Chain A
């Protein structure tokens, strides 16, 4: 398990909070397992809280894409919340807004699941 994340549930939504830089190093690779574990437990409505993530590179982005695919294949979704300016610039450059819904706050992201 990665030391860089915490998991909490709010109703039917799971919040995965990441910390530091998400650059696909060994710790981040463990995030793949976190994603699969959540999906196996039936937790497929997931918000990634990026409030404490200052920077993310393409490998970090790959983890988010893989998470979104995993959760969507099981009837859920992955949404991003609270992105830093640098992460937003990466999402904008790669046109990832077409893939992820991104919210300013974690609460807004949680609320978006309830609308379904």
Chain B
């Protein structure tokens, strides 16, 4: 009888100890702690409680690939300065993904599950690991190594680690989600900065010479876009106009766009007569060299000379710019070459067109013609040409504003899916 009583007392004492250790962990963790702070507390308390020498939490980073342990990136939070060897952490995580249960190995060196790892040499002789299951999803594992004394990890240790694993997984998962959310907020802030930098690359107002005026418009579909335009006054009589559309959208497109614009601008410096074909060739070469094959630019750029009202231009696979004559006649510029960034040694040709007073030139990206309404219909070239016919005699700023309003009206409740960019030159 006294034996039974002693055993029962012993059992109760252990249960109270266990509860108090669990309680200590629970009260040490609060909802606003970082993943790192929480794991540190868990690992620390578990190592102390089960009398191990080392401990770690492994969090799976990408749950989509959890079925394939080789694709799973594991984030390690180790308690000791001695790092757990990488292949052991990999192998433990792999085992957890497969079995989702507690692992005890009191003779780790000869354990089949860790064969070939030479754990003995690494000084690891016993392992106890528990799955971290949050809402039935494995988010990682909690492991302790090297039980002090000779007996190895006990049933009670196993039970304790299991409970800690089950109880802390949700807290860890929430902390992880909160960290991801904070990262997203930071990224959004950076994109806002990128947007304002990108805005700064575009001319902030139109340009007027004695016989012409030009103005550009740009409305990106995302915060940062892949379209650009530029107007550079070369002399009292000459204007350089350029407009481009980088394949894709968002930050990668914006980076390439900024680069292309910089190349174009730098080549204009100090050049009396801008060699357009040569400029296209070097830009093409650079894009081929520095971007992946699927990324390219369509662009149209040229020089308007008011002394003879000529417009010399290059069209690299871009929407043909449209001349609207004084009487409303529509004349698309037919000269064109290959898009930039596909064939490094492609030779570009310069074309020329004569303009007259009261004509205007409309250069645009496909965001204009490929605007869709809620029925899924496309705005299209036909509508664009009809619209432009009605714009003769208007100032460029008015044409641009009317065009934006027209597209907004056409789209109705449809969403803007592509960047919209226009560059308009009017003669007087």
Contacts and interface: CB of A to CB of B under 8 A. Distances in A.
Interface of A: 24, 32, 57-59, 61-63, 65-66, 68-70, 93-96, 98-99
A95 B338 contact: yes
Q: For the complex of A and B, list the 4 residue pairs with the smallest distance between their C-beta atoms, beginning with the closest.
A: A62-B294, A94-B317, A66-B294, A69-B293
Interface in B310-348: 317-320, 336-339, 342-343, 346
B207 to A, nearest CB: 28
Given A62-B248, A99-B342, A93 B292 contact: no
Contact of A66 (B292, B336, B370): B292
B337 A95 contact: yes
B248 A59 contact: yes
B339 A62 contact: no
Interface residues of B, number: 22
Contacts of A63: 294
B296 A57 contact: no
B247 interface: yes
Given A93-B319, A93-B336, A95-B336, A65 B298 contact: no
A94 B339 contact: yes
Given A65-B296, A93-B320, A99-B342, A59 B247 contact: yes
Given A65-B293, A65-B294, A98-B343, A58 B338 contact: no
Interface of B: 245, 247-248, 292-296, 298, 317-320, 336-339, 342-343, 346, 366, 370
Contact of B298 (A24, A58, A98): A58
Nearest to B341: A65
Dominant SS at the B interface? loop
B363 to A, nearest CB: 14
Nearest to A58: B247
Contacts of A32: 294
A94 B248 contact: no
Contacts of A24: 248
A60 to B, nearest CB: 10
Given A58-B296, A62-B295, A65-B294, 9 more contacts: A24-B248, A57-B370, A58-B247, A61-B247, A66-B293, A93-B317, A96-B338, A96-B342, A99-B342
Contacts of A58: 245, 247-248, 296, 298, 366
A98 B294 contact: no
Contacts of B296: 58, 61-62, 65
B65 to A, nearest CB: 14
13 contacts: A24-B248, A58-B245, A58-B247, A58-B298, A59-B248, A62-B296, A65-B294, A65-B296, A66-B293, A94-B338, A96-B317, A96-B339, A99-B338
B317 A65 contact: no
A62 B339 CA distance: 11
Given A59-B248, A65-B342, A94 B294 contact: no
Contacts of B338: 94-96, 98-99
A62 B287 CA distance: 14
B294 to A, nearest CB: 4
